[in-house]
Amino acid sequence: MAIQAPRAVVRRIRLSTCLPLALTSVAAAACAGFVAAQESDETRRIGYRETVAVQWVGVPVELPPLVAQEQLPAEAFALTVDGRPVPIHDFEGPARELALIVLQDLSGSMGLGSKIDQSRAIFEALLAQLGEQDEVSVVGFSERTTEVRVPLAVPDRRHHDDPGAWSGWGKTAVLDALMHAPRLARESRRARTGIVLITDGDDNASLVQEEQLAAVLQASAVPIYLFDLSRPRASLLDEPESGAAPAPETVADIDTLVELARATGGATYRLGAHLDPATAARSLVRRLANQYWITFPADSQTPTTAHSIRVALRPDHAPRRVRRALAAGGGDLRHRSHYLGGEPLIEP
């Protein structure tokens, strides 16, 4: 039986400074800025008054495609941190019911070319992949507006926003919109929730800082799946192509989002000749549903440092067909390589 893991148990403490968090780090626990959104008649300003000490480290694990459909118990996994065995505190296996929070960029740059048309195709493809009991929500954003256009509900098209009415206007505040993602995800009661971000990454109006946003998103333990519409590419990659010429004014922003997706256990999709919306949607839903989550506590009183994580299968607890498939395909587990936080808390 799967154990529902506490995704992010946090202790808020007031500090005058924040520890830095590099975006290239794959971090599950960190001491960094906590964002509070405040509304006013003039504009919404985001400020940092507290830090967050995350007391749980969530590790997303993906099995290779050959054995992705297998249901493995917690005893089949071995967790080590800095080379030392660490007990698995909570364990969550593949999920039967999903929830998707779709963050749709509706800024002016999205109105150029076919980006809105691509967004509509992606949304329709995602709806087609969801089951009757799955949930989906649509959130549109531009410069200073993050609007829940459709609250969480089962994917009945009659209850959803008409993608044909989408249009782009104004500046873009992608990072500000992402700050709402953990709160929106907590509203779902489904076993597994993912954030789908559809954007060209041309952020020119966000007030939130990248490092502070990264800490909050990674602590929420909700994967982000990015649809990168910044420039045409021909394959599905988790990283930008090496040696590719940077696109003016967009490559830095989209690369930041690629790092955020990877750091939260998600993925990046770029539509092209070899990747259509239906194929990308199938991949996203499959990855989200088949992901395992392993959770262990971290001591928030110890200094924040980088710790390496390794997850492996125990041969004596994995079914024979799984061991045979892994040996034949040479596959390995996908997992976070390290986190920033306190020492693993091992109870005596």
Residue 176, domain member (yes or no)? yes
Please indicate, yes or no, whether residues 261 and 305 belong to a single structural domain of this protein: no
Residue 216 — very low, low, confident or very high, per pLDDT cuts 50/70/90? Answer: confident
Q: Does the pLDDT at position 70 exceed 70?
A: yes
What is the token pair recorded at 12? Answer: 């808020």
Confidence of residue 169 (pLDDT cuts 50, 70, 90): low
**How many Cβ atoms from other residues are within 10 Å of residue 165's Cβ?**
8
Q: Tell whether 178 and 65 lie within a shared domain.
A: no
**CATH code, domain with 199:** 3.40.50.410
Q: What is the reported pLDDT for 231?
A: 64
Q: Within the chain, where are the H helices?
A: 115-129, 174-178, 181-186, 210-220, 251-263, 277-290, 320-329
79 shares a domain with 58: yes
Q: Is residue 2 part of a domain?
A: no
205 and 334 in a single domain? The answer is no
Name the residue among 285, 38, 251, 48 with its Cα closest to residue 144.
38
CA-closest candidate to residue 271, choices 67, 136, 113: 113
Same domain, 232 and 256: yes
**Within a domain: 1:** no
316 and 193, same domain (yes or no): no
Same domain for 255 and 113, yes or no, is: yes
**pTM score, two decimals?**
0.69
Boundaries of domain holding 27: 10-93+292-341
Average pLDDT over residues 182-210: 78
64 lies in the same domain as 159:
no
Predicted confidence (pLDDT) per residue in 273-297, tens digit: 889 999 999 999 999 988 888 888 8
| pLDDT of res. 314 | 82
- pLDDT above 70 as % of the chain: 59
One domain, residues 148 and 272: yes
Residues 311 and 162 reside in one and the same domain = no
Residue holding tokens 């782009």?
168
Q: Considering the domain boundaries, does residue 20 fall inside one?
A: yes
Distance CA 232, CA 184 (A): 30
Task: Specify whether 248 is located in the same domain as 304.
Answer: no
Specify the number of domains making up the chain: 2
Query: Is residue 348 domain-resident?
Result: no
Domain identity same for 233 and 275: yes
Whether residue 130 is contained in a domain is answered as yes
